[in-house]
């Protein structure tokens, strides 16, 4: 069973760009736009790109795997929608080219610990929060 709802998965499938926040060596956040996909076999978000293995986000995740990832947009006239994923990122050195044309082999996989979504339901102002700590093991 996925940590994501069907509405969240549908929304993510329709988007191409998100923003990844990492923790720098001084504790300051670093946010960058990134390409991504959802992997149903691992129930994770995968992030890749050109030069991933030499990027600041790659180095940051090597020191501290805590990340936040956000995909959002606004439907006219003012209908904000978003999915935020907070979790632990793992660096992988093989398989990133499967994420898209121009992607390097290195990529990042985010295991969700907390998911927040907004504006994805029929009412448009729905808020959902998933916290992995609330799920019995």
pLDDT at 137 over 50: no
Whether residue 101 lies inside any domain: the answer is yes
Mean pLDDT of all residues in 19-31? 97
Q: 126 or 92: which carries more pLDDT confidence?
A: 92
Interval 23-30 mean pLDDT: 96
* pLDDT band (50, 70, 90) for residue 135: low
Asked if pLDDT for residue 136 goes beyond 60, the answer is no
Average pLDDT (66-87) is 95
Query: Do the domain assignments include residue 1?
Result: no
Asked, for residue 137, whether it belongs to a domain, the answer is no
What domain range is 52 assigned to?
6-130
pLDDT bin (cut points 50, 70, 90) of residue 98 is confident
Yes or no: say if 113 and 88 are a contact pair by the CB < 8 Å rule.
Answer: yes
Total residues belonging to the chain = 137
Asked if the structure places residue 24 within a domain, the reply is yes
Written as six digits, the tokens of 77 are 């006239």
pLDDT over 90 at 123, yes or no: no
Structure tokens at 115: 């998911």
Could you give the number of structural domains in the chain?
A: 1
Domain assignment present for residue 29? The answer is: yes
Q: Are residues 53 and 47 in contact, defined by beta-carbon separation less than 8 angstroms?
A: no
Average pLDDT over residues 91-114: 89
Task: Check: CB of residue 85 under 8 Å from CB of residue 112.
Answer: yes
Within a domain: 87: yes
The continuous run of DSSP H or E covering 92 comes out as strand 79-92
Residue 64, domain CATH: 2.30.110.10
């Amino acid at each position: 069973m996925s940590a994501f709802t069907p509405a969240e998965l549908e929304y993510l499938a329709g988007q191409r760009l998100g923003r990844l926040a990492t923790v720098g060596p001084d504790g300051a956040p670093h946010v960058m736009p990134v390409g991504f996909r959802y992997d149903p076999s691992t129930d994770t978000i995968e992030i890749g790109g050109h030069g991933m293995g030499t990027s600041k986000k790659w180095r940051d995740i090597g020191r501290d795997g805590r990340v936040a990832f956000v995909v959002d947009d606004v439907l006219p006239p003012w209908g904000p929608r978003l999915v935020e994923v907070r979790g632990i990122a793992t660096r992988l050195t093989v398989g990133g080219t499967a994420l898209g044309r121009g992607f390097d082999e290195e990529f990042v996989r985010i295991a969700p610990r907390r998911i927040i979504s907004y504006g994805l339901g029929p009412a448009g102002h729905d808020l959902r929060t998933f916290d992995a700590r609330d799920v019995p093991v």
